[in-house]
Structure 1
Amino acid sequence: MWEARDKATKVTSSQDPTAWMNYGPVWMMRDYWESLCHRWATEPWQERSQAAKRNRAAHPEKNVHTSRSVFYATHRQKLRDELERAPAFRELFDRTHKRKETDDYVSESARTISTYDRTMADHYAEGTPQPDLDSKA
């Protein structure tokens, strides 16, 4: 989706999402694209977008992962298929935050977050299910 927005921005030479309405991707129905353009133009969306942009610029090391543009849910499903069970937090985190060649974490922040698994193991008795991550957080 980022690529479609970026292309529309370049074609129209405009940051205004309402100017992009005639330049949606060929794979998306026009009314869906127009609906997205209207949503992206709303003040709450623009505020969140600007806040996210500032955060990414201020903390570039926090936005490093190895999953590229693949959704976390897609990685979870692929790992579920490989393991034939639901992946643990640590397994999914490692898949998306470790370099394949060296098995090192991609950032100091990722290394720190990886301690979550140990903390959860200490907090929950063996065999007790740990809570799933909040997908909205």
Structure 2
Amino acid sequence: MFTRLEDLPRARAVWESTAQTNFKKSTWEAWDKAAKITESLCHRWAIGPWQERSQAAKRNRAAHLEKNVHTSGSVFYATHSQKLETYDRMMADRYAKGTPQPNLDL
């Protein structure tokens, strides 16, 4: 259809229009698919074994506040700082007598 050099501006306009339409369609389809999957997962997580596991994890987190286990989320700054101070003291005690410290890969 577009075989001459003077057809180039029209060909570009048709290409950009088609690409824009296809992009909008692809974006909408991806959004629709994601919404359906999200709805399906929310329904699945709201019932049965998932809720039982969730409740058990909540009870465990509440019973062991001092521990930072995988299900408890991020480590609090105070906890991290305390562990770091303990590590620093242990390393100072271990290598205080002039023994060389191991080379660490930073």
- Shared fold (TM-score, shorter chain, > 0.5): no
- Comparing both chains, which one has the higher relative contact order based on Cα–Cα distances under 8 Å and sequence gaps of 6 or more? 1
Return the index of the structure with the highest Cα Rg: 2
Per residue, is there more helix in 1 or in 2?
2
